[in-house]
Amino acid sequence: MADGWSTDTGEAVYRSRDAVKNLKMKIRIQRVTSTAALSQHLQQQVLTQQERGGIELDTLNSQSQSAGDDDEELVVGWQEKLFSQYEVDLFQSESVCQTPLERQYHTEIMAQERTRGRRNRRIFTYTDFDRFTNWEGHSQSMVTQVKSNPTFLAERMANVRHRRQDRRPVDSTIPKSRLITWEPSEDFVKTSHVVNTPVQTMHIMGDLGPPGKLGQKEKECLLCTIRADGNGVVTIKPDFNKAKEPYRQVTLETEGEKREVWRLTLENVSEGIRPEEKEREQRMYKDLYVRHKDYLNSLVGQDFEMPPPGILRLLVNGEIDSAKGFEYDNLYVHFFLELPHNWSTLPFHSLSGVTQTCRTKTIGKDDVAFFSYPFSFESFFRREDETEESLPQWPVLYFKVLSLDFWQRYRNEGYGYLVIPSTPGKHTITCHTWRPLQTGTVSELRRFFIGGSPELEDYSYVRVPGTFKGERLSRFGFRTQTTGSVTFNLHCIQHARAFVDASTLKKRRQSVLDQLGGFSQQGSVYNVLEAFQRARRRMQEARESLPRDLINTTAQQNSESTA
């Protein structure tokens, strides 16, 4: 045949917020015979020729619809039970009915026969309550084996599915007492060891026997399976194919009769939501969100504290984590922060601290002391001189490690420094330390027995002395000994008004300097804006005090002039 088939019969998963009982599907099956194919071919030819004023279609149409038994189209709702010819024949007599469900079918069939007859001929359905749905998945094996028994797990899951027809409400509360069941019952074990999401299934079947001989159970073919669970997830196998090629449904081969090919088309005809309902729903959601936002705003307030314009605020949250590799025990760290020239801080803000004294423990080959001492400070940077092209200097953290032992001997264990990183984010930095040495044995003996040691007078000597004003720093002649290392965790945050502009204008920020470089321009613009706002406010106040008729006449004059 010239027309193509769709071979993709995989599952399609849909999600719906509406109840699944509103689902409606249109199914069409059509037998493929030679006359049908010919008429369709002719129809296609004619359609292409119709632009040129071709043959009328009426004659061809009547031919294709002559065989009514080979073509059926039906709209099926969710869990709508349609009886097959086989079932109608079976449940005619009351004696066959064993379960209440079958008796109900019997009454329904009788009622149907009395009134207007069946809506369907070949297409029928198996709903969730029929025996077929529970049996079908269980007995079919997934692999091609001559004889395959379902595994233990498959049997258990089939039993569970069969049992959980009623959807139990899922309780989300955690019991406060009796968390553990020490003696689980068989039932409990079964339900909690296997997956049991309650799913409602519906099968749409087609009786594809030869025309006039419907009602044979062997000729039933599964056309479509719909599964819906309680969360609005609907799985349809195979998927809707209204606009695409139809599916190919082949009947089973029986003795003496050849296989037949049918064309299957599925279409979704569920009603969409009405526009006024949709609008109402959207209004409700918008209302809810606005109210939630107002509630959030009322909790904290809308103002975020901002630094003054042109100033960069650096916030460092950090902790002194640990120290390792030092000579003596009972270590503590004394640190302070040095702010360079253009930096300032809030008054009464302490920039130094002392940790607790910690006895070390041995991890591997090192003696480690844990401090876990959090500190946080903030400082402000303001570029004073714009013509200066040098990079800004960042604050430096100087620290000193000391040991104080049981005999109250106090020793200097090492000096170190740490430059606060200029990029925001998390930094874990390990700094190595050294301590100054004096030549000769006297100082070492003193350090061992009594505990004094030489110390630096100016701590900034560790990095660059504050009094240094040359080009080359020389430390020639200064003797030190390497001691251990201290680990810091720093979280740096930078905050400035200039960053707001960059993000709103969507510019790529090159560096802090470029942004802050034009602060004076920003400052002047800001000043102009402020002045304008003040003047406008004054004007408005003055205007309010004027008598009413004066204002009206001026407005009229304005409108006349622009007309």
Partner 1 sequence: MFNSALLRALPAGRGAAHIPVMAELHIVGQIVGASGFPQSSLFCKWGIHTGGAWRLLSGLKEGQTQVDLPQTGDMAYWSHPIDLHYTTKGLQGWPKLHLQVWHQDAFGRCQLYGYGYCHVPSSPGHHHVRCVTWRPLGSWQEQIAQTFVGGGPLLRSPDIIYSGADRYRLHTVAMGTVELELSIIMRHFDRYGVES
Q: Given the rule CB under 8 A, which residues bind partner 1?
A: 296-297, 299-306, 309, 313, 315, 317-319, 321-322, 330, 332, 350, 353-361, 363, 368-376, 378, 424-426, 489, 491-501, 503-505, 522, 525-526, 528-530, 532, 536, 539, 558
Please identify, using beta-carbon distances, which residue of 318 and 484 lies nearer to partner 1: 318
Strand residue runs (E) in 78-219? 123-126, 199-207
Please identify, using beta-carbon distances, which residue of 19 and 529 lies nearer to partner 1: 529
In angstroms, the CA 31 to CA 33 distance is 6
CA-based nearest residue to 358, from 312, 291, 313, 403: 403
Please identify, using beta-carbon distances, which residue of 183 and 305 lies nearer to partner 1: 305
Q: By CB neighbour count within 10 A (0-12 exposed, 13-18 middle, 19+ buried), where does 63 fall?
A: middle
Report the nearest approach of partner 1 to the CB of residue 156 (Å): 29
Please identify, using beta-carbon distances, which residue of 445 and 525 lies nearer to partner 1: 525
Please identify, using beta-carbon distances, which residue of 98 and 557 lies nearer to partner 1: 557
In angstroms, the CA 497 to CA 308 distance is 7
Residue 161 three-state SS = helix
CA-based nearest residue to 207, from 188, 222, 189: 222
Please identify, using beta-carbon distances, which residue of 142 and 346 lies nearer to partner 1: 346
Tell whether omega for the bond before 238 is within 30 degrees of 0, i.e. cis.
yes
Report the nearest approach of partner 1 to the CB of residue 307 (Å): 8
Report the nearest approach of partner 1 to the CB of residue 182 (Å): 17
Report the nearest approach of partner 1 to the CB of residue 220 (Å): 51
What's the alpha-carbon Rg for the chain, to the nearest Å? 43
Report the nearest approach of partner 1 to the CB of residue 189 (Å): 24
Pairing between strand 312-324 and 71-77? unpaired
Report the nearest approach of partner 1 to the CB of residue 432 (Å): 19
DSSP conformation letters of 306-350: -PPTT-EEEEEEEEEEEEES-SSSSEEEEEEEE--TTEE--TT--
The angle subtended at Cα 116 by Cα 114 and Cα 117, nearest 5°, is: 80
Please identify, using beta-carbon distances, which residue of 309 and 465 lies nearer to partner 1: 309
Report the nearest approach of partner 1 to the CB of residue 400 (Å): 13
308 has which bridge partners? Answer: none
Please identify, using beta-carbon distances, which residue of 31 and 400 lies nearer to partner 1: 400
Report the nearest approach of partner 1 to the CB of residue 501 (Å): 5
Query: Are the C-beta atoms of residues 124 and 82 closer than 8 Å to each other?
Result: yes
Please identify, using beta-carbon distances, which residue of 63 and 494 lies nearer to partner 1: 494
CA-based nearest residue to 128, from 196, 227, 234, 221: 227
Type and span of the H or E element at 289: helix 275-300
Report the nearest approach of partner 1 to the CB of residue 387 (Å): 23
